[in-house]
């Protein structure tokens, strides 16, 4: 099995951590400011009519004013550290020149699968090596071996890393994750498809409402003290929803908000810190499942002393610096950082995943999107 422990941490100091992508993840990285993956001619923008900021924009502006100075100092510190260590400028990975096979519409297939009646008892399908004609739906598929294997399905070939498991489904069949034998998770990372105007208008992806997210059966998959990390957009109402509604509903105590500082391959911010158009950062909200004693306590929220007793706490203020991928919404790998705070004995789970990771269970309706082998 490919070892991933420590493989993505380039450098670290009190300001935060500088991360790179896993060797198994092939991606083109952003090279130039303003989010361009390749040098390009700047297009003349249409001048927008000045208007009053709405409530959401005012909340973002207030939040930005509170963190911008600290983020700028973190960027300076970590970019200098990356240059000293020889990480910047980043060398682009050599991508295979072999053409990709036609893309499989996994989302539509999951929608069709949702119309079928789920079996009363579902099981885990254990791969025994490279296999042809694997049924991808209706069960968790697991590669318990130490090496990557190839499975053929839907007319294409997919790579399944060693020590990885996955469930390809929509939210209606997510409960099948509970069929994993003696499997509960100590670390969960999720990047939900948040509802927003651009997604609705452009039909870029299928999104879930807040009510659908609340109903996800996450609490039943967690062990005591499990760490849950949720990526959110810069819309502050979404962060508020996670802190004040989603986490409490799942009996998770909110602990910290970390910030991903997005830089180019040269270590520059992808957008100016005070850009009115886009911000060069994104938030990660972190919480921990309360213990049974904390949940049942009549005295209100658990004290910090009781929380520390259940495990090491993530820092409340921390920065993650990494070069973003040109692939929409691809996030840095967090396992090497968050594993420090997760309890022993639990598995690792990524929700709304679009690729597989060795040592992890992955779920989503596009979980094999970037596992397709080139022709």
Round the average pLDDT of the chain to a whole number and report it.
84
Top-confidence residue, 119 or 213: 213
The most distant pair of C-alpha atoms in the chain lies apart, rounded to whole Å, by: 62
Is residue 161 within 8 Å of residue 144, measured between CB atoms? Answer: no
Over residues 167-216, the pLDDT tens digits come to: 999 998 998 888 776 568 999 999 999 986 654 444 555 779 999 999 99
Before 89, cis peptide (omega within 30)?
Answer: yes
Whole-number Cα distances in Å, 342 to 107, 191, 224, 226: 31, 18, 10, 6
Question: What is the per-residue pLDDT for 307?
Answer: 41
Question: What is the per-residue pLDDT for 104?
Answer: 84
For residues 78 and 92, what is the distance between their CA atoms, to the nearest angstrom? 20
For residues 366 and 337, what is the distance between their CA atoms, to the nearest angstrom? 25
DSSP 40-69: -PPPPPPPPPP----HHHHHHHHHHHHHHH
pTM of the model: 0.89
The confidence band for 280, taking pLDDT boundaries of 50, 70 and 90, is very high
Question: What is the per-residue pLDDT for 6?
Answer: 46
Over residues 318-365, the pLDDT tens digits come to: 999 999 988 877 899 999 999 999 998 899 999 999 999 999 999 999
Least confident of 4-18, 56-70, 206-220: 4-18
Over residues 288-309, the pLDDT tens digits come to: 999 776 555 444 444 443 343 3
Which residue intervals of 172-235 are DSSP H helices?
197-202, 210-214
Question: What is the per-residue pLDDT for 350?
Answer: 97
């Amino acid at each position: 099995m490919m070892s991933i422990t420590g493989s993505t941490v380039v450098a670290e100091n009190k300001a935060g951590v500088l991360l790179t992508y896993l060797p198994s993840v092939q991606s083109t990285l952003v090279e130039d400011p303003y989010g361009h993956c390749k040098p390009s001619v700047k297009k003349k923008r249409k001048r927008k009519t000045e208007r009053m900021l709405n409530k959401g924009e005012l909340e973002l502006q207030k939040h930005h004013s509170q963190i911008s100075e600290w983020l700028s100092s973190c960027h300076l510190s970590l970019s200098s550290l990356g240059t000293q260590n020889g990480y910047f400028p980043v060398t682009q990975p050599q991508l295979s020149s072999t053409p990709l096979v036609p893309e499989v519409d996994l989302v539509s297939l999951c929608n069709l699968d949702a119309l079928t009646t789920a079996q009363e008892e579902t099981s885990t399908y254990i791969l025994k090596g490279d296999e042809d004609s694997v049924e991808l739906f209706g069960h968790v598929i697991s590669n318990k071996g130490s090496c990557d294997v190839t499975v053929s399905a839907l007319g294409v070939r997919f790579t399944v890393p060693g020590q990885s498991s996955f469930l390809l489904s929509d939210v209606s069949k997510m409960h099948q994750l509970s069929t994993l034998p003696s499997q509960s998770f100590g670390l969960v990372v999720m990047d939900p498809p948040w509802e927003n105007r651009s997604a609705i208008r452009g039909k870029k992806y299928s999104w879930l409402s807040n009510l659908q997210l609340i109903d996800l059966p996450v609490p039943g998959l967690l062990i005591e003290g499990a760490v849950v990390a949720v990526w959110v957009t810069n819309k502050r109402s979404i962060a508020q929803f996670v802190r004040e509604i989603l986490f409490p509903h799942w009996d998770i105590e909110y602990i910290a908000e970390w910030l991903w500082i997005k830089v180019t391959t040269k270590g520059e911010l992808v957008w100016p810190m005070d850009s009115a158009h886009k911000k060069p950062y994104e938030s990660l909200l972190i919480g921990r499942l309360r213990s049974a004693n904390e949940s049942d306590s009549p005295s209100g929220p658990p004290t910090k002393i009781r929380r520390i007793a259940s495990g090491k706490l993530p820092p409340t203020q921390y920065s993650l610096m990494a070069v973003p991928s040109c692939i929409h919404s691809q996030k840095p790998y967090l396992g090497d950082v968050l594993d420090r705070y997760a309890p022993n004995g639990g598995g690792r789970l990524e929700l709304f995943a679009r690729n597989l990771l060795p040592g992890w269970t992955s779920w989503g309706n596009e979980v094999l999107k970037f596992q397709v082998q080139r022709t």
